[in-house]
Amino acid sequence: DTVYLNGSFMPSAQATIPVLDRGFIFGDGIYEVIPVYSSQPFRLQEHLSRLVHSLDAVRIRNPLDFSGWQAMITRLIQENRAWKDQSVYLQVTRGVAPRDQAFPVPDVEPTVFAMSMPLSTPSAELVASGVSAITALDIRWQRCNIKAISLLANVLLRQEAVDHGVAETLMLRDGWLTEGSSSNVFIVHEGTLLAPPKDQHMLPGITYDVILELAEYHAIPLRIGAVSEAQLRHADEIWLTSSTKEILAVVSLDGKAVHDGRPGPVFRRMYALYQDFKN
Ligand code: PDD
């Protein structure tokens, strides 16, 4: 496979970075994951604008302009066109400098890395059966709206799910639902879709926005507001959304069936709308 590193395309085995890269030393960087369907990046504009927000939030200079990012991504997709659907990963770190927590002075060049992986969206069976999840305390920091590469808490939380043999860990902060370890979470209560508000406790998902747009356009009752642990536990439906998972129904939470233990009617409708929309 071909990757991009600091202006050049090369086989991944040849892409190396210095050990003093601040991404390696401090996790000092940000990233994006963009789904690509039949060579077309999905919601590219939105992903790149979130990338810019993440860069601004951590004060890393944007190394490319919009058309620069677009051209690089187009070439990367082209180089990896053997895969029908892809997931493009972009990462920018603050660069290489002697180890010191403070920003390097004088400024150094950010390290820019991009790769593509085959995108395997959930199988029809998984969509039909739904998945299981557990809950855990949200042990992350207070800037979860930044798509930072420092993901140690997410790694530990996601491994908890794997250790329990389930698909995802849903996080609760002070009794409120925030999101999954690598997904956003929606619930349905009596036909109304409830979505936690975008704030510093969750990543503003690009898929989350698509779901909200589809709900509005198709007049599915929708309320954006904090979701309590009790609301989560008594939900008729629970959904996970992300660029790689699209939408999945959670049918078991902490070992207890969600409603009747099967993906619900609002999920099935939204799943169909999403499939239509992305094509
Ligand atoms: N993760 N919340 C978290 C913590 C995430 O890591 C992600 C995505 C999302 C969903 O965002 P989006 O709809 O824009 O993919 C929410 C990516 C896919 C990842 O880290 O691999």
Atom number in ligand 1 closest to CA 207: 13
Q: β-strands 237-242, 184-189: how paired?
A: antiparallel
Kindly report the CATH class assigned to 2-118. Answer: alpha beta
Atom 3 in ligand 1: which residue has the minimum CA distance?
A: 182
Identity of the residue numbered 137: L
What distance in Å separates the CA atoms of residue 35 and residue 45, rounded to the nearest whole number? 12
Atom 1 in ligand 1: which residue has the minimum CA distance?
A: 182
Residue to probe by mutation, ligand 1, list 33, 43, 169, most atoms within 8 Å of CB:
33
Residue to probe by mutation, ligand 1, list 178, 203, 206, 240, most atoms within 8 Å of CB:
203
Name the active-site residue from 147, 245, 256, 278. 147
Kindly report the CATH class assigned to 124-278. Answer: alpha beta
Residue 90 token pair: 């972009």
Atom number in ligand 1 closest to CA 208: 13
Tell me how far the alpha carbon of residue 69 lies from the centroid of ligand 1, in angstroms: 20
Domain ranges of the chain: 2-118, 124-278
**Ligand 1-lining residues (CB < 6 angstroms):** 33, 179, 182-184, 203, 205-208, 241-244
Per-residue pLDDT of the chain (279 residues; tens, 9 = 90+): 999 999 999 999 999 999 999 999 999 999 999 999 999 999 999 999 999 999 999 999 999 999 999 999 999 999 999 998 999 999 999 999 999 999 999 999 999 999 999 999 999 999 999 999 999 999 999 999 999 999 999 999 999 999 999 999 999 999 999 999 999 999 999 999 999 999 999 999 999 999 999 999 999 999 999 999 999 999 999 999 999 999 999 999 999 999 999 999 999 999 999 999 998
Q: 57 in helix, strand or coil?
A: helix
CA-wise closest residue to 9 among 159, 121, 137, 112: 112
Q: Is residue 147 annotated as a catalytic residue, yes or no?
A: yes
Tell me how far the alpha carbon of residue 86 lies from the centroid of ligand 1, in angstroms: 15
What distance in Å separates the CA atoms of residue 235 and residue 192, rounded to the nearest whole number? 10
